[in-house]
Structure 1
Amino acid sequence: MTNELLGIHHVTAMTDNAMRNYDFFTNVLGMRLVKKTVNQDDIHTYHTFFADDIGSPGTDMTFFDFPNNPKGTPGTNSISRTGLRVPTDAALEYYLDRFKEFDVENDGIQELFGKKVLPFQEADGQKYQLFSDENNEGVAPGTPWENGPVPEEHAIYGLGPIEITVSYFEDFKKMLTDVYGMKPIIEEENVTLFDVGEGGNGGQVILRNDDTTQSRQGYGQVHHVSFRVKDHEAIKDWEAKYNDMGMQHSGHVDRFYFEALYTRVGHILIELSTDGPGFMTDEPYETLGEDLSLPPFLEPKREYIESQIRPFNTKRS
């Protein structure tokens, strides 16, 4: 069975304002919009993908635009914080200064599991954490955005460790190890750090134990996390594995840019996604993310879709 997880694929969160979110990710964080499309399960809403220079797997933070949804409430039984990777400790200092310039709420540079980190949050309350790759080994990073507003030597170039907080810590920990093959490498009171695939900042999960306030889904919260698998054969192997274990799942889903498989472990929606085909199949490199892209099965509905969604300008070329 080809069932090894290769690392983190993407994280999908919810925003109440795709335009503000676009401005924050491109002009403040310096991540490239590599795809502006719609939520394939709700074509009246945007789905935007921010990633490295070429949309490499393991680098994209994606958003559903739900302007009429209520604001989410942080708490337990949620994906509580998303990690983003930068090359060096000096890059953290660069972003600390940048956050002061753009008035981004942050907690200052800290240390977590022996790594330098910079926790911060977006205006809607979505929580992130920059991880320094200095002395990091494991899953390779992506490629910094060549023409972005942040110098390449400092720029975000991948997803970092994903933090999950649950009230059923031991049960969830057992699922991560027994079903997904994750390896606990640091175990402290009420927190465990897991390696996924080759590990390092691009392949780690932080699991925290918390039985206090229950989170509530809404904008400003994470919708799901996805982990990388190699190809179509791997997805089908995981589908068979879920069936053998009696786990409910979505069945194989072709998202055009990648193939996917979804299941829920407790409150946490976990997706598995293939590394390809990728985001450069329907747009040239120079203008990635500048126009509304639709997968072939939605192309006949383009006129209707464009009449329903709020246009916003993402032209940069």
Structure 2
Amino acid sequence: MILLIVILHFIIIIECSYCPIKHIHSSTPTTGFIESPGHPSAYSAPLDCVFNITTAASNVIQLSFVTFDLASKNQLSDQCLDSYLLVVVVDRHGRQHVGDRLCGNAVPSSINTMQSWMQVQFVTTAANNKHRGFRIQYRILSEAAIQEPLSILGEPMFSGCGGHSTPGQLSGEILSPGYPSTYPKNSTCNWLIRVEARQRIYIRIVHLHLAPTIAECERASLTIIDGYKHENFGNERKESTSETSEAKFCGSQLYYSEEGMKSYLSSANRIVVRLVTQEGPASSMIGEERIGFKVCRGV
């Protein structure tokens, strides 16, 4: 009889702890919520829940944390052990970017990706009777609705720092702020170039003069970035592919003698052109005919 009670109790624990993988898919823009089991009541343990969120390649996924209340970090190890949330972003090359374990009751920042596949894993290992778990809003958005990253202009007397192309615009040029006389310091300018799906973008540097030497990338640099590159989140779980996701230029065009070194062909239909400066032009550059950069682009 005692053995039967123990077995029944074990079965009840297993049933309460069972957390099947939840697949969420929408090929069109939509929004919804994922929650810890029992939310807003306290969650149980042990749990290993996985929420798999996918959409069409023409869309992207974003997460916003509405409520968040998990056990705090272990005092001895300073790590999330009793319960934690793990967000994994899978990029368009199949690489998995694994975020840090999230726990405690501080509401995490939103996670805005340019990817169409995310996984949220919720793990609990210790009994709990007071923490309410989490509620997260997911948003599936059209890739076409995502604008360029925020630009920061360090000197307000300049203009033309950042922007985006217009639908159907197949060619054009981008100039650094102040071109051809100078450029601003302490600035980050982002220009988004986007064309229709299945089209690719060709970029050519017409003129480049940011510093006297190529070693002065900290002074100013120009970077052409794959518009779907996954940035500022987690570590890659898989090896990188051989595909180039960005090209960085410093110094002047004298250091890029071959024509192929001054051009870039995107792998998909959007790229970001980014100028980052810490200082203005070197004193030795003042009075030169052209300072800054000019790039042309086409399809």
TM-score by length of 2: 0.21
More helix by share: 1
> Which structure: larger Rg?
2
